[in-house]
Amino acid sequence: MNAHDTSIDLAAYFERIGFSGPARPAPTLDTLRALHLLHPQAIPFENLDVLIGRPVRLDLESVQRKLVTDKRGGYCFEQNRLFRSVLQTLGFRVRSFAGRVLWGREAPDMPPRTHMLLLVDLDEGTFVADVGFGGMTLSAPLVLQTGLEQITPHGAFRLEDASGEPQAYLLQALVNGTWTNVYRFDLDPQYDADYEMANHFVSTYPQSVFVHNLLAARLAPGKRYGLFNRRFSAHDEREGSDHRELDGVAGLRRVLESELGIRLPDSAELDAALARLPNQA
């Protein structure tokens, strides 16, 4: 459905995520698992460009420059665009789809398709691959099979049948002992033009959560870090969760650069945008 990307700089990408395997690993499940674990621990989720009024470009050259060369982060369309290109270059069979985000949503109406995810076809079966869902990003591929609790390095997930649609799936995460909806998706193929349209919507629509709020997240071994406006959260698999409000622009910049691992853009608008963020308490 999408032409294979052949201009990815594998060496630079592997250095960025800390992959120490062969220069061109075989397209196996072990390789997929290794890359899927390393990517979200090295390349953070963030929407700083949207917050300061810069366009989010999805062409491979722009995505690679931002996430790899400039050591920034990005959101789902950028993250999974890059990951798809890496996988296809290695010879994986990858298909692109779109999800409807349910995480943190209480409204009963059906949300639009604003999330990009991938399916990878291997001899062992078909797997969901998704390195771009913020604080609940997967750290391992999930086999496309319903009713199966799947343990990842960062918690348990499962896929269930989504009622009302043929071949529709509901991704859920086990949070504090409760299965919580993350997003739903079906097997309607998506093309790059579909992602361009969705990207324009989430980055410019006045009611989009990305336009007026700061969102950033990163995984670390056994941990999840997340930032929504001034509220910083750190979840440790063994020690539980900690939340705190950050004071001032300096505090926000420090967390973005340290715990979130973002090389902040050189922009005069950044500090002003950070200063405008509301408190969540």
H, E, C per residue of 204-250:
HCCCCHHHHCCEEEEEECCEEEEEECCEEEEEECCCEEEEEECCHHH
Given 36, 39, 49, 130, the catalytic residue:
130
- What was the pLDDT predicted at 266? 83
DSSP state of 280: -
Residues 130, 61, single domain; the answer is: yes
pLDDT at 105: 84
Average pLDDT of span 159-184 = 92
Q: What is the pLDDT of residue 163?
A: 78
Q: Is residue 136 part of a domain?
A: yes
> What is the pLDDT at residue 42?
98
Q: Are residues 178 and 215 in the same domain?
A: no
- Is there a domain that residue 5 lies in? no
**Residue 109's pLDDT band (boundaries 50, 70, 90)?**
confident
Residues 40 and 94 placed together within one structural domain of the fold: yes
CATH number for the domain spanning 230: value is 3.30.2140.10
Residue where a domain terminates, one of 157, 192, 227: 192
**Which residue from 78, 72, 74, 13 is spatially nearest to 266, judged by alpha carbons?**
72
Question: Is residue 240 scored above 90 in pLDDT?
Answer: no
Domain containing residue 130: 10-192
Does residue 5 have a pLDDT over 60?
Answer: no
CATH of the domain at 135: 3.30.2140.20
- From the list 115, 200, 236, 247, the catalytic residue is 115
Q: Is 90 exceeded by the pLDDT of residue 239?
A: no
Q: Are residues 187 and 215 in the same domain?
A: no
Q: Binning pLDDT at 50, 70 and 90, where does residue 33 land?
A: very high
Asked whether residue 128 is domain-assigned, the answer is yes
Contacts of 268 (CB under 8 A, 6+ apart): none
What's the CA dihedral at 136, 188, 128, 260 to 10 degrees? Answer: -30
Tokens of 253: 């910049």
pLDDT tens per residue across span 79-97: 999 999 999 999 999 999 9
130 is catalytic: yes
171 and 35 assigned to the same domain: yes
Domain co-membership, 235 together with 165:
no
Radius of gyration of the chain (CA): 18
Give domain status of residue 42, yes or no: yes
Q: What is the average per-residue pLDDT within 126-155?
A: 97
Residue 1 lies in a domain: no
Considering the domain boundaries, does residue 232 fall inside one?
A: yes
Q: What pLDDT was estimated at residue 136?
A: 96
Tell me: pLDDT of 107 over 80. no
In a domain, 198, yes or no: no
Pair 64, 149 in one domain: yes
Same domain (yes/no): 239, 107: no
What's the domain count of the chain?
A: 2
What's the confidence (pLDDT) of residue 7? 87
Among residues 49, 76, 154, 235, the one annotated as catalytic is 76
How open is the CA angle 103-180-226, to the nearest 5 degrees? 50
For residues 109 and 146, state if they share a domain.
yes
Clarify whether residues 180 and 105 are in a common domain.
yes
Answer yes or no: is 281 within a domain: no
Neighbours of 199 (CB within 10 A): 23
pLDDT per residue as tens digits for the range 183-200: 999 999 999 999 999 999
Name which of 26, 15, 168, 3 is nearest 99 in CA terms: 168
Which pLDDT score is estimated for 104?
86
Q: Name residue 119's beta-bridge partners.
A: 95, 128
The residue from 159, 192, 225 where one domain ends is: 192
Q: Give Cβ neighbours of residue 13 (< 8 Å, ≥ 6 apart).
A: 19, 64, 68, 82, 86
Rounded distance between C-alpha atoms, residue 15 and residue 36, angstroms: 14
Do 89 and 172 fall into the same domain? yes
**Residues 246 and 185 both lie in one domain:** no
Mean pLDDT of 155-181: 92
Q: Which of 162, 161, 183 is nearest to 171 (CA)?
A: 183
Boundary residue ending a domain (192, 227, 243)? 192
Cα–Cα distance, 121 to 118 (Å, whole number): 10
